[in-house]
Structure 1
Amino acid sequence: MRLRNYLMIAVLAFAGFGTTLSAQKIASIDMERILSSITEYQEAQEQLDQLAATWQQEISQEQDAIKGMYNKHQAEQVLMSDDQRLASEQAIIDRETKMREMQKERFGPDGALFQRRNELVKPIQDAIYEAVEAYANQNNYDFIFDRAGSAGIIFSTDAYDKTDEILRSLKN
């Protein structure tokens, strides 16, 4: 009698669990393709690339100047007094510190480039995510994965790719 009750409970539990899982709808999109089709995103990316290149060039020039200071120090240190040698070494250290601070201020995790990227790109990404969310809600999708990202999808059938539909909804 007890075995029969356990079997009945197990059958009911599996039946109930199976019906909730089978109703999920999934789709995939290609976020890179969506972003590359948006002119504002391309322009923002170009601006960021130019800004980064300009700042990197300034940092490279500063590194070259520091290297020149170091070479001059190496060549002249035998002629310097201890105080002059220490002052020269400290000047090099101070300039290197200043250059590293400049790198951090511009390229660090909370640097100017990151902030500028948030100003230019985040509104575009937010609009895309809102379009994806609206599409998912309208079409009763439970999951939409990014095929282009590193989300861990190994295989995705093209039948689930809804990139074109998201692009159309963004143009409306």
Structure 2
Amino acid sequence: MKTKVLFLLTFMLLMCISINAQRGVRIGYIDTEYILENVPEYQEATTQLESKAQKWKSEIDGRMGELEQKRAALSNEKALLTRELIEEREEDLFYEEKEIMDYQQKRFGPNGDLFIQKKQLMQPIQDQIFAAVQDVAAGRKYDFIFDKSADVVMLYSAKQYDLSEQILRAITRASKRNQLSTKAERKAAEEEELVPEINYELEERERVLQQKKDERESAIEKRRQEILAAREAKKKAAEERRQKILEERAQARQEKLDDRTVKTGDNTANVSEKESSETVKDTTSTDAPKTREQIIEENRQKKLADREARKKELEERKKRILAERQKALEDRQKKRDSLNNN
């Protein structure tokens, strides 16, 4: 069925395009479900109908519950009843169940009360929708108007071609017009319902202008994004260069510090080598690399040791000089004594 409908619609579209090639085909669509959801009369009647359906369902459920209780009671009393009584009561239960099923079919069946009342409810509103569609199509010169909620498969539908709001306003105005009493009110309503004439050239010009505007805005946005991307790339490259320069400076500073530390250690080692070869051997035979703090501490200790060694050497020289002076005094005293004795 859907294939036939699609084929028919395609054929009609092709025919219409060939006939109205110069003017162009005007197509629109409506959503009947959306329109019905926004019609107050339909919503009120639907609520009443649902209330009736719920009442019928509750009644059927209550009767089915009573039937189940009767069956349970019969099952418990079978041992006390004769076969004839059991068959008689089972037959009564069967007819009662059939009666309930008939009542359910009467209310909810394909031709039941719910279906009939729903059809009666839908028919006037469907007539209003159809009349409003005819008026809009004739006034705005549409070639085709489809129903989005029908069997026609619409894979995509642009919002600008949706006429549901116009149809809904037309139905609302028609409903208000039916409720008006005075001639002035009817005339005002008729003037409100007038459909303006369509200027197709103006619409086409506006469409072209809007398309150019969208393309221009898209190009501007694309250019802006490219500028931002280039700016971010330059900023990132500059940051990388700055980081690299900082790392090279830090590395050069560390190398200079290491060279200075090594030179200081060599000088200290040369001084210590003159004093004690054992100390030099212990200093130069390190198994593991030392840290900068350890090297500085060792240099400080070596300077202190050198100072103590020089101080000790000066003390010994002083003692030696004093001893020599004392010996010279003693020699002069002996010579003086020997001359006095002679």
The TM-score range, normalised by the shorter chain, is: 0.7 to 0.9
* TM-score computed with the length of structure 2 as normaliser: 0.43
TM-superposed CA distance for 1:123, in Å, is: 1.0
Larger RCO of the pair (alpha carbons < 8 Å, separation 6+): 1
Aligned residues with identical type, % of pairs? 32
Equivalent residue number for residue 102 of structure 2? 101
- Please provide the CA RMSD for this pair: 2.1
Q: Secondary structure at the match of 1:145?
A: strand
Aligned residues: 157
Q: Secondary structure at the match of 2:145?
A: strand
Q: Secondary structure at the match of 1:33?
A: helix
TM-superposed CA distance for 1:17, in Å, is: 9.4
TM-superposed CA distance for 1:44, in Å, is: 0.6
Question: Equivalences for 1:18-167 in 2 at 5 Å?
Answer: 19-20=18-19, 24-167=25-168
Structure 1: distance between partners of 2:17 and 2:164: 30
Name stretches of at least 5 consecutive residues in structure 2 with no aligned partner. Answer: 1-14, 174-342
Q: Is the 8 A contact 2:33 2:149 kept in 1?
A: yes
The structure with the greater share of residues assigned to helix is 2
How has the CA–CA distance of structure 1 residues 18 and 128 changed in structure 2, closer, same or farther, with 3 Å as cutoff?
closer
TM-superposed CA distance for 1:27, in Å, is: 0.9
More moved, 113-122 vs 59-68: 113-122
Structure 1: distance between partners of 2:153 and 2:77: 58
Alignment deviations for residues 44-85 of structure 1 (CA, whole Å, 9 cap, x no partner):
100110000000000000110111111111111222211111
Amino acid at match of 1:125: Q
Q: Secondary structure at the match of 1:113?
A: helix
Q: Secondary structure at the match of 2:128?
A: helix
Amino acid at match of 1:95: E
Name stretches of at least 5 consecutive residues in structure 1 with no aligned partner. Answer: 1-15
Residue 170 (1) aligns with residue 201 (2): no
Structure 1: distance between partners of 2:43 and 2:17: 45
Structure 2: distance between partners of 1:125 and 1:17: 26
TM-superposed CA distance for 1:21, in Å, is: 8.0
Structure 1: distance between partners of 2:114 and 2:16: 49
Structure 2: distance between partners of 1:67 and 1:150: 43
TM-superposed CA distance for 1:99, in Å, is: 0.3
TM-superposed CA distance for 1:139, in Å, is: 2.8
Equivalent residue number for residue 4 of structure 1? none
Q: Is the 8 A contact 1:36 1:42 kept in 2?
A: yes
Q: Is the 8 A contact 1:28 1:144 kept in 2?
A: yes
Q: Is the 8 A contact 2:39 2:168 kept in 1?
A: no
Structure 1: distance between partners of 2:16 and 2:159: 29
More moved, 106-115 vs 126-135: 126-135
Structure 1: distance between partners of 2:16 and 2:89: 75
Amino acid at match of 1:91: D
Q: Secondary structure at the match of 1:151?
A: coil
Q: Is the 8 A contact 2:16 2:25 kept in 1?
A: no
Structure 2: distance between partners of 1:21 and 1:67: 69
How has the CA–CA distance of structure 1 residues 162 and 96 changed in structure 2, closer, same or farther, with 3 Å as cutoff?
same
Structure 1: distance between partners of 2:86 and 2:19: 77
Structure 2: distance between partners of 1:102 and 1:18: 54
- Rg (Cα) greater in structure: 2
Structure 2: distance between partners of 1:75 and 1:65: 15
TM-superposed CA distance for 1:37, in Å, is: 1.5
TM-superposed CA distance for 1:162, in Å, is: 0.9
Alignment deviations for residues 85-129 of structure 1 (CA, whole Å, 9 cap, x no partner):
111111111011000000011111111112222233321222112
How has the CA–CA distance of structure 1 residues 95 and 17 changed in structure 2, closer, same or farther, with 3 Å as cutoff?
closer
